[in-house]
């Protein structure tokens, strides 16, 4: 609306009001980085809301002032329509919608992929969104910072390596992140450059932005709402990459029918690959890894060789994307399930020794299926991953049980594979609180994992946000275990002063809280110590570092904090665990304030 007003203002630059869209996105870009670095660490939520409300009121007054000035005709000149450019066809509108929808969906898809499948790092989600906004700044101007021809030349050299490595080992996670971000930025520049080239005369500006806004909504709805309902994996990501390649110049040079004829061999290959995967669920053994990678390298070489033939290039890229999405030699997927909270994958190791549950790239549980001699494991399964006997969690449970001579009731927030159930003893009553129905389904299925069925078949499973469902419980618990991390992040709202106070209110006399704070990017021990002090509790800390490779030992490093009213409540753990002192430099997390930047810097810099 403001751009339309500007087009009729008589300003010397009014002939191209679209540059204001670049300025708008530049402001969004700056605000996006300012929030986690400046706003969140310094201001509580109530203050943020007050400042935002004040700013919105100022904006409304400024818009009203502009309307008043233009309404009086002060310097206003009506935009003169151009008969040649003001005629808009349905095809034009559809192109605007499509070119806006693809990057909008891609930013959600690449963010989901990177933050769950590659590295669940705090603030990583900021970078794709910032790049998305910045592409508008780059191309929505008379002289773009990067020419469209340069973008078109670069796209094949970035897409080719990504197409053959979409799914695979994440050892070089930093390189993987950079590659995906570069491809996303180039594809967004490609689509937005084509969108800017198809902009109408300013007389039709509002219609143009209505269509692009609709495209943005449709792309976001597809990736964020529809895809989780219809796909078991993050398949919308390769689909959107393939759709973005359709924006390459020359793709439809001879018309849609000719393009379809040229693409028909590649479409046949794609349909054949999808059919083989869907019908046979064929898995590739580890011995096939070398020839599989050789095939992918040949595909990448073919893409580069055919980069000036957009239909053939896109066809090879789609073939590579499908191969690396459907097949991963050496690891056999048993089941993939997707919910609002992410993608859960149950896989067997290639040698059949163990079955693992992954949420993104984070292992949330493991069950040994065969002994070292190859014989099947019999009897109740032994706890693995974070919960192996001797781990801080297992040691903490044993110490608290010993101090109380047993548990009456135990509450566990977070289910995973149900491994903690095998730390249950005797007639103890254990209740698991889990927010994700897919996790409950997987852990309860004895054909996938047997921890619950063999160790606690009568355990109660409560679906919902544990902060609400635990508070609604009428029971009092001798032990509450907080083990609710999603991928590699821990829900902040479960670790605030008010949340811990709610858990304490559900403890029996002399009850204890164990908090699993393992995280590759955040040091949460000082945060928990500050909250413990605010509630009059003591905080004890222990870290476990098992020896050996996790895929061999199935044992994972862990960090655990124990919260209790008195040292006597934790038994011998009071002597063997380290007392954690409050950190004056770390602000107290509350429902009104939290700061991820501080714990992240402390974890990375050690200060």
pLDDT at position 135 is 93
| Neighbouring-strand partners of residue 6 | none
Q: Does the pLDDT of residue 164 top 90, yes or no?
A: no
pLDDT at position 235 is 84
Please identify which residue in the block is written with the tokens 């054949």.
272
What pLDDT digit, counting tens, does each position of 462-490 carry? Answer: 999 988 999 999 999 999 999 986 555 66
pLDDT at position 99 is 95
Q: What is each CA distance from 235 to 43, 99, 156, 350, 536, in whole angstroms? A: 39, 20, 21, 24, 49
Pairwise pLDDT comparison (530 vs 358), residue with the higher score: 530
Residue 381 has phi, psi (to 5 degrees) of -70, 150
Q: Interior CA angle at 213 toward 209 and 215, to 5°?
A: 115
Q: What is each CA distance from 540 to 321, 490, 516, 528, in whole angstroms? A: 48, 19, 12, 10
Tokens representing 282? 């064929």
Tell me which DSSP letter residue 357 carries.
Answer: E
In sequence order, which ranges of 341-496 are alpha helices (DSSP H)? Answer: 392-404, 437-444, 451-455, 466-472
The answer for residues whose C-beta is within 8 angstroms of residue 170's C-beta and 6 or more apart is 117, 118, 119, 176, 361
What pLDDT digit, counting tens, does each position of 333-377 carry? Answer: 788 888 878 788 888 886 778 899 988 767 788 999 988 788 888
| Neighbouring-strand partners of residue 513 | 480, 563
Averaged pLDDT of the chain: 85
What average pLDDT score do residues 290-299 get?
77
* CA-wise closest residue to 367 among 383, 346, 391: 383
Q: Interior CA angle at 542 toward 538 and 546, to 5°?
A: 165
pLDDT band at 581 (very low <50, low <70, confident <90, very high): confident
Tokens representing 138? 């780059």
How buried is 142 (Cβ within 10 angstroms: 0-12 exposed, 13-18 middle, 19+ buried)? exposed
Ranges 184-198, 389-403, 408-422, 484-498: which has the least confidence: 484-498
List of domains in the chain: 1-78 (no CATH), 89-326 (no CATH), 333-368 (no CATH), 392-605 (3.40.50.150)
Please identify which residue in the block is written with the tokens 């509108």.
93
Q: What is each CA distance from 468 to 339, 413, 434, 494, in whole angstroms? A: 20, 11, 11, 10
pLDDT at position 262 is 76
pLDDT at position 169 is 45
CB of 204 closer than 8 Å to CB of 159: no
């Amino acid at each position: 609306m403001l751009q339309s007003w500007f087009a009729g203002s008589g300003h010397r630059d009014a002939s191209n009001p679209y540059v204001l869209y670049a300025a708008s996105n530049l402001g969004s870009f700056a605000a996006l980085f300012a929030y986690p670095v400046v706003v969140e660490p310094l201001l509580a939520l109530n203050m943020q809301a007050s400042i935002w409300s004040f700013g919105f009121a100022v904006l409304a007054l400024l818009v009203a002032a502009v309307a008043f000035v233009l309404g009086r005709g002060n310097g206003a000149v009506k935009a003169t329509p151009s008969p040649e450019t003001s005629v808009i066809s349905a095809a034009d509108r559809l192109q605007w919608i499509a070119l806006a929808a693809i990057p909008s969906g891609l930013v959600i898809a690449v963010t989901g992929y990177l933050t769950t499948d590659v590295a669940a790092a705090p603030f990583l989600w900021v970078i794709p969104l910032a790049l998305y906004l910045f592409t508008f700044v780059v191309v929505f101007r008379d002289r773009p910072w990067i020419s469209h021809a340069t973008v078109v030349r670069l796209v094949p050299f970035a897409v080719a390596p990504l197409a053959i490595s979409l799914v695979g080992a994440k050892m070089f996670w930093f390189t993987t992140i950079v590659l995906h971000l570069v491809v996303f930025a180039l594809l967004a520049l490609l689509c937005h450059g084509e969108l800017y080239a198809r902009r109408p005369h300013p007389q039709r500006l509002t219609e143009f932005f209505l269509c692009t806004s609709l495209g943005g909504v449709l792309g976001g709805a597809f990736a964020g709402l529809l895809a989780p309902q219809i796909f078991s994996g993050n398949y919308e990501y390769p689909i959107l990459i393939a759709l973005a390649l359709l924006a390459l110049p020359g793709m439809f040079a001879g018309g849609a029918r000719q393009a379809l004829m040229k693409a028909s061999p590649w479409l046949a290959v794609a349909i054949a690959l999808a059919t083989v995967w869907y019908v046979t669920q064929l898995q590739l053994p580890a011995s096939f890894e070398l020839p599989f990678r050789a095939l992918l390298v040949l595909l990448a070489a073919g893409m580069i060789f055919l980069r000036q033939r957009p239909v053939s290039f896109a066809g090879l890229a789609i073939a590579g994307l499908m191969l690396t999405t459907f097949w991963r030699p050496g690891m056999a997927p048993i089941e993939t399930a997707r919910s609002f909270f992410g993608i859960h994958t149950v896989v067997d190791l290639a040698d059949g020794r163990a079955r693992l549950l992954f949420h993104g790239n984070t292992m949330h549980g493991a069950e040994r299926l065969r002994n070292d001699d190859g014989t099947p494991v019999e009897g109740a399964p032994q706890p693995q991953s974070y919960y192996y006997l001797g781990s801080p969690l297992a040691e903490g449970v044993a110490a608290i049980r010993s101090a109380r001579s047993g548990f009456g009731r135990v509450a566990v927030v977070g289910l995973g594979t149900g491994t903690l159930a095998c730390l249950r003893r005797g007639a103890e009553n254990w209740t698991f609180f889990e927010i994700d129905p897919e996790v409950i389904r997987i852990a309860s299925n004895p054909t996938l994992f047997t921890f619950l069925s063999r160790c606690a078949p009568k355990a109660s499973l409560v679906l919902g946000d544990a902060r609400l469902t635990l508070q609604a419980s009428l029971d009092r618990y001798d032990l509450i275990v907080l083990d609710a991390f999603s991928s590699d992040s821990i829900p902040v709202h479960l670790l605030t002063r008010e949340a811990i106070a709610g858990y304490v209110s559900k403890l029996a006399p002399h009850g204890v809280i164990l908090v699993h704070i393992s995280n590759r990017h955040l040091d949460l021990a000082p945060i928990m110590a500050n909250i413990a002090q605010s509630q009059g509790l003591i905080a004890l800390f222990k870290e476990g570092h098992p020896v050996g490779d996790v895929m061999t030992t199935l044992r994972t490093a862990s960090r655990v904090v124990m919260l209790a009213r008195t040292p006597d409540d934790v038994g011998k753990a009071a002597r063997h665990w380290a007392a954690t002192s409050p950190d004056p430099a770390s602000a107290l997390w509350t429902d009104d304030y939290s700061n991820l930047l501080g714990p992240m810097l402390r974890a990375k810099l050690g200060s």
